[in-house]
Structure 1
Amino acid sequence: MLYPLSTLVLAPVLIGQGRYVRRVTPRLPEPEGERHGTVGQGPELRLLILGDSAAAGVGVSNQQDALAGQLVRRLAGDHRVIWRLLAATGRKAADVLEALNAEPGDHYDVVLVSVGVNDVTGRTGTQQWLSLLNELSDRLINGLGAARVLFTAIPPMHLFPALPQPLRWYLGMRARRLNGLMESVCKSRSELEYLCVSFPFEPGFMASDGFHPGSDAYRLWAGHAASCICNGAQAPTPEIVQGITGSSGHVY
């Protein structure tokens, strides 16, 4: 009840603030570097990193410092990692599914997904969100043979000081709502895991735009994901903060 009411009452303010933030927020490019490869020695692990601009590594200049590069390096200590990055700025869940369906039907053991920020800002409906998450899961598990799919939680947008109020509160409310649905989908299937990362909102962890992760944040995300992948279950964190990207109505 609160969400539709606040949408109606605050619509003029939210629209104005969203336009302002889009206008003043720097548009960072996707980093340079390899988006696929084979590295390491040991048991073979086929890895797909899938999603939006956070998955693509926006916020750093090279893929070696982004999520893909840092995660692959960690896993390569114990595995022969055959990996691929399939991600782009601005993708919502529907775009991620479309891009995945357009790809050859390769096999992957583990898939790490970052999606949802653009669904928050783009106002993807809750039923559509659930449907897309289930379709995406079916495609990854049944189509690509993934034994494990890790869905990274949407960030706590209500904690981003760069966002003006009430836009910050409103986006945070939407993010929590979609996260709750994502977590319920993950609990419904043994192959799915809901990945939360404890992320300090401190200088050095954020990119220059104030919304995307910096290299330290990607390092933390990659370390947590690697522990989860290698240990077979999500590693505990002392203080859970859901997700590690950010949004301003900005495309991710």
Structure 2
Amino acid sequence: MSLTLKLALAPLLVAQAVATRRRAPRLPEAEGARQGQVGEGERLALLIVGDSSAAGVGVATQDAALAGHLTRALAAEARRRVHWRLVAQSGITSARALELLRRERAGPAQIAVAVLGVNDVIDQVSPARAVRQRAALADWLRQSAGVRHVVFAPLPPLHRFPLLPQPLRRVLGDDARRHDEALARWAATREDVSHVPIELALGPEHMADDGFHPGEPVYRATGEALAHFIARRLITETAP
């Protein structure tokens, strides 16, 4: 969508955004422990940081959320004893995620998984600024939490979110694609950062009741895809 058309639609988009926020049910973050260990073998310390999708909004427990699926799949595929910690909060942007990590004094960890970006899109943070904020996040994780590699999950396809009306759905979807493309280009310039593209089915049956947050099938697919990437690219290929 062109900038001219986007500006022309601005009053409608703002009205749709306000109405959507008002009618959307407020779902809680998933209950359950936000740290633990799973599996057997050599120790692997994993830190998961992010927004509501990392916090498990849309499912009842962390076992059914991203953290549960990711850590179980990683322990099984990598044959490691995964010590994990989740630092996540609904509504945070990439910039606020760094503030949260500093406040929580997260770490140490060997690998970090970041699930961020939707709130950058909603708050109309530019892709370039969001990349700078993710770079600051990755640098802090490397320097202050001992992380050797940061894995960024992709932004979801907002143009397929059932809650969003048109043309708001299309506009946010276009913005999300630009953010994800910028994230991928930046990650490709660094050896200590990865962007993992994931194809997701996002029909109403895959989503939470609010039509905006992931349902258990999305958390499972995302967690397993990230675990496969970490096990194959960051553990197997770098093993002595």
Partner of 1:172: 173
d(CA) in 2 for partners of 1:185, 1:108: 23
Summarize deviations over 1:20-66 as a string: whole Å, max 9, x none.
Answer: 11111111000110001122210111001101000001010011100
Partner of 1:209: 210
Residues 105-149 of structure 1: CA deviation (Å, up to 9, x unaligned): 522111111111011010112332121011011111222222221
State the match for 1:115 in structure 2.
116
TM-score using structure 1 length: 0.87
Distance 1:196 1:80 in 2: 26
Aligned-pair CA distance for 1:220: 0.8
Gaps of 5+ in 1: 234-252
Partner AA of 1:169 in structure 2: R
Name which of structure 1's ranges 59-68 and 202-211 shifts more when overlaid on structure 2. 202-211
* CA distance in 1 between partners of 2:223 and 2:73 (Å): 8
Q: Which has the higher helix share?
A: 2
Counterpart residue number, 1:82 = 83
Q: Distance in 2 between matches of 1:158 and 1:224?
A: 21
Q: Aligned equivalents of 2:212 and 2:152: distance in 1?
A: 20
2:184 aligned partner, one-letter code:
E
Partner amino acid for 1:219? R
- How big is the shift at 1:165? 1.3
Tell me the number of residue pairs that the alignment of Structure 1 and Structure 2 aligns: 232
Q: Equivalent residue for 2:24?
A: 25
Q: Unmatched 5+ residue regions in structure 2?
A: 235-240
Matched position secondary structure for 1:112: strand
Partner Cα separation in structure 2 for residue 11 and residue 225 of structure 1? 36
The CA distance in 1 between the partners of 2:48 and 2:106, in whole Å, is 15
> Distance between the aligned counterparts of 2:156 and 2:110, measured in 1?
26
Deviation at 1:203, TM superposition (A): 4.2
2: CA distance, partners of 1:169 / 1:104 = 38
- Matched residues, percent identical? 41
Contact residue 162 and residue 203 of structure 2 kept, 8 A: no
User: Aligned partner of 1:115: which letter?
Assistant: L
Normalized against structure 2, the TM-score is what? 0.91
